Amino acid sequence: MKTTGNTILITGGSAGIGLEMAKVFVQQGNNVIITGRDAARLERAKAQLGKVTAIKADVTSADDVEVLTARIQSEFPELNILINNAGRALLHDLAEGKTYDIAVDEMTTNYFSILRLTDKLLPLLKGQKESAIVNVSSVVAYVPSGNLPTYAASKAALHSYTVSLRLALKDTSINVFELMPPLVNTELSKDIGGAENGIAPSIVAEDVLDALSTDRFEIRTGQTEDVYRLSLANPAEALNVMNPVT
């Protein structure tokens, strides 16, 4: 699909991968809208990006989503790309027996909030000549990481939903993409070695742009492709690679 002249909503667009995607799309001549929970961070992102619209909204809040979607429908009826990027990741050990609240937090952000926002914007996206939904999952959708167990579960759920959504919308104007980055150097991943071992978020953003232009619906950036292929050939070894013994 085209990569210029679009109107794009990026949730969690004030930092990390979301911010880098916003940069790339602005440079390509798109009308970009970013959301985030932190007003100050949003304003800094807006100052850095230039011509974007920044809307304070928490995607886990039903009230915020109502206000956001009403504004999109009123002010941006030409919206044709939705990028569900906002995410939540918490380190924890299942053996400690303190899983439930963490899982609810992550599933709400990484899964249920995406379903709600997508549901509300589907009529608008269906009405466009060409449109897209991009769901940002993770390499752990294929192979779980032991120190991010419920984050991995939430991304596996998102992966399954995305495949089903692609099937459901195959006869509409909406193309459904899934972005599965490896470890990325962002604030979200700083506690799990992102600063030392993660790829630059700009690499991920450029890969998204390429995938949209070539209709590559499964976007397995960097080492995700290797992990994916290993998971098919040797699941046990893939699990070892994702969870090395220290």
Asked if 223 and 181 touch (Cβ cutoff 8 Å), the reply is no
Tokens of 159: 């992966």
d(C-alpha 112, C-alpha 108), whole Å: 5
**Ramachandran area for residue 74 (φ above 0: left; ψ -120 to 50: alpha; else beta):** alpha
> What angle is formed at CA 60 by the lines to CA 66 and CA 125, rounded to 5 degrees?
50
Tokens of 144: 């779980």
Which is catalytic among the residues 142, 151, 161, 228? 151
161 is catalytic: no
Reported as type and span, the H/E element at residue 100 is helix 100-107
Tokens of 78: 């030409």
First to last CA, the chain: 44
Pairing of the two strands 52-56 and 218-220: unpaired
**Which residues are designated catalytic?**
151
